[in-house]
Structure formats: structure tokens, C-alpha cells
Structure 1
Amino acid sequence: MKRTRTGVKICGITEEAGLDACIEYGADWIGFVFFERSPRYVSASRAAVLGKRVTNNIKKVGLFVNPDDTTLKQVLDQVELDILQVYTTPDRALQIQNQFGRPVWVSIPVAGKGDLPSQCPVQRILIEPKPPVDALHPGGNAQQLNWNLLQGWKPTYPWMLAGGLNPENVGQAVAITGVPAVDVSSGVESAPGIKNPRAIARFIHNARAPVIV
């Protein structure tokens, strides 16, 4: 079964080599993490420097965890972000989208079919596994969702799959779920926060290669 071109986001960019690989191999989005407890955290000034290297119409995504308006404004005053990705409530995500005039993606943690959202208040929803109760981060924990939960689920809005993806399993994940776009961070790293260009190349290729299941 062939599929349409899968969108790919590489998140947690902190250094030039990883960013340049995203550009070379055709990522659609790159993500900067503005959450200080993350090993992939970058300051606004560092993200601004990296962002100036972005070409090929790649969109720059800023990831925030329960951000207040002041935090968002301080980052946006320094970095040209195309999209805001937030861990917060859907109502707050919509408020941010309206206030800051940029598309917003909201992350929805899922443990079972009952957690799958029926509506999308903002531009896109990211589906990822619910974090462990003792997790220090709301996402980026390298957990893998049970993809079978998503079989037959066909939302009418844009969505993306995250959590535990890597070059070896992304093709199967896309084939099983039919997801239009995928998000990876630790799955293409050689060390926390350091991207592996060869892994990025393989991930993007395998996300878009036809798979039969």
C-alpha cells in the first residue's frame, strides 16, 4: 500500500550539524526547545543564531511547556518562529494562537482510544504517549505509543505522531497509523541534544518510503 509524502519534524535542534542535516535531507519542520529542564534546551539567542541558517522553506517550531505570555513574547522578540508547539490545555493553546497570531500545535498525551481527541482547537494536534508519573518532562521521554490504538482513527484535522520513533520503526508506524506527519528527537541523536546526521537522513527516507503491512 503506497502512501502520500509524510511530513517530518526534527525536534530538539541545538547545533549546526544537526540543523544542516535537516536542511540537506528535506525535513519539513525543525524544533527548538524552550523548556529549561530539557537536555535539548536552547536559549532564545542561540535559537536565533541557528534559525538564520534555515533554508528550503523549512518551518521553525518553538516548543514551550505551560508558557505564560511574557515568556512567549520574550522568545518571539528574538527568534522568528513560524509555529508554536505547546504543552498546555486546548483552551490555553487556542488563546495563544489568537493572541500571538501564529499557528499553534498542542500536544495531547494518549494512553487509550478514549484519550483521542474528537476536535482540534488549533492548527494541529500532536499525539504522543502519556508520560510516566515520575517523568521530569511532559514529552521527549522516548516512549512508544501502541500504534494499534490509532488504526481506523481518521480525524478531520491535521495531526502528527510523536514518541519513541527512530529510523528503524518510523516506516511501520506510518503504515499502521496512516499519520500524515511524524516528530522525532532522541531517536536521531548520538547523545542527548546532539543529532546524528546519518540517522536524520535515514529517518526522513524511511518515513517517506512505501511500506506494506
Structure 2
Amino acid sequence: MTEVKICGLTTPETLEAALVGGAAYVGAVIFPKSPRHIEPEAAAELFAMARGRAAVVAVVVDPDDALLGRIATSLMPDFIQLHGNETPQRAAEVRALTGAKIIKALPIREDADFAAVPAWTKAADILLFDAKPPKGSELPGGVGHSFDWSLMANRALAARWFLAGGLDGTNLGEALRITGASMVDVSSGVESAPGVKDIPLIRKFLDAARQALA
């Protein structure tokens, strides 16, 4: 099965649906501007049910040391996903501060956007290719937009990587066929409204991931 990360989970019911459906990664978005925001301490209580069942990811945007400290001591995530303008040097600091592995989101619109990949291949454990948000958007991701998947076709990458951006249970098979992705990330594509995860849509997405390799 394609490895799936369900991001922006905020309720026990939707988290359990992701876990039962076979999600390999589950994400807590810790970013106040996001409709999926959850405080680190609340995330720690919620994601306790995921321990031993899936990797826990804390998604942050240009976090300061104080926030990272709260995340490390309460949530204790397996991964920190950096979704802002962080540098590889900052990623090393985040790793040292939290003890977590690093996922780095890279916004993609055109071929030139892959120029950052070599530096991040060494600095991050996993890369995540997401669509560049529309100009003026306060959110760096989770806006339901996809990029041109053909940019990923036949691209030799040394790093492990997630495909993200505009994926849902309807288009996932096509996205996997074009990109050859073995790891995918979804958030808005399994929501009935911004920040409101939908259990049937979560199940549909995870079923589509299984069927893509059948």
C-alpha cells in the first residue's frame, strides 16, 4: 500500500478512522492561522491514541524555540514537518531541540522550484512536495490546490518524498500513476469544510491508496 499521511486531525473519531484505515502517518497542525490548528498540549492528549499505530507528525510554520519546546515536551512527535521558510541550518536546530526527525515541505509550481532539493536531501529525512499557495494566502499549504504532477514524472530523487497538494479519493490513482509517488499526504481532500475532517472521505482516500497498487 502507498504510505498515507492524514494531516490536520483534530478529533478522536477522525484520528481513529485514519488509524483503522491504515494511515502510516498522522499529523497535528500547530499553526494558529490554520483552520486545523491545535495547541501542542491538546495534540498530545489526542495523539496518544496513535502511539505504536502510526508515526505522529507536528506540522509547524517557522516555529520559534519556545513553541518547539512545548511540542517536544508535550506531544513528543516522531517527525516535525517544517512548512515555512526554514533553512537547512534551522532544520538542524529543530532536530537538536526536539529529537524528532524532519519532514520539509517544498512548494512547487514549476521546474525551477526543485532547485532546493539537493540541500534539503541532506537536511531532512523526508521531503514533501506541495503546491505553491495562491498569492496573498496566509496558509503555506492545505488549500486544496495541486501542481502539475508531470513535473514529478521520471524525476530521480535521492530522498524519500511525499506528494501533496489537492489530492483526494477521486484523483489519487491518477496522481500516483503520473508521479510514481510511494508516499502521499492529504488534508483538505478529506474534509467537508475547512478544518472539518470527514470520516467517509478519509476511508475513501485510504481505500484509493490501497486500490492503486492492486
**TM superposition shift of 1:205:** 1.5
* CA–CA distance in structure 2, aligned partners of residues 40 and 57 of structure 1: 22
TM-score, length-scaled by structure 1: 0.92
**Aligned counterpart, 1:102:** 100
Query: More displaced, 113-122 or 139-148?
Result: 113-122
Alpha-carbon shift at residue 200 of structure 1 (Å): 0.8
Tell me the TM-score normalised to structure 2 length. Answer: 0.92
Distance across 2 between alignment mates of 1:35 and 1:79: 14
Q: 1:155 & 1:202 partners in 2: Cα distance? A: 29
- Pair 1:71 & 2:73 matched: no
Q: Which amino acid aligns with 1:109?
A: P
- 2:165 is the counterpart of 1:167: no
**Which has the larger helix fraction?**
2
Paired with 1:26 and 1:96, the residues of 2 have a C-alpha distance of: 28
Secondary structure at 2:41's aligned position in 1?
Answer: helix
Structure 1 stretches of 4+ moved >3 Å: none
Q: In structure 1, which of residues 89, 92, 101 is the aligned counterpart of residue 90 of structure 2? A: 92
Q: Decide which of 38, 42, 64 is 2:38's aligned counterpart.
A: 42
> Secondary structure of the residue that 1:179 maps to in structure 2?
coil
- Once the two structures are TM-superposed, the CA of residue 56 in structure 1 deviates from its matched residue by 5.1
What's the secondary structure of 2:59's corresponding residue? strand
Superposition deviation, residue 211 in structure 1? 6.5
Question: For this pair of structures, how many residues does the alignment match?
Answer: 208
Kindly indicate whether residue 150 of structure 2 is the aligned counterpart of residue 137 of structure 1. no
Q: Distance in 1 between matches of 2:195 and 2:201?
A: 14
Amino acid at match of 2:89: D
> How many Å separate the matches in 2 of 1:146 and 1:50?
35
Any unmatched runs of 5+ in structure 2?
none
Contact 2:8-2:28 at 8 Å conserved across structures: yes
Aligned to 1:30: 26
State the AA in 2 paired with 1:131.
Answer: P
Question: What SS is found at the alignment partner of 1:118?
Answer: helix
Task: Kindly provide the amino acid, as one letter, of the partner of residue 76 in structure 1.
Answer: A
- Aligned partners of 2:19 and 2:53 also within 8 Å: no
Asked if 2 retains the 8 angstrom alpha-carbon contact of 1:113 and 1:150, the reply is: no
RMSD of aligned residue pairs (Cα, Å): 1.6
Deviation at 1:186, TM superposition (A): 0.8
Partners of 2:168 and 2:205 within 8 A in 1: yes
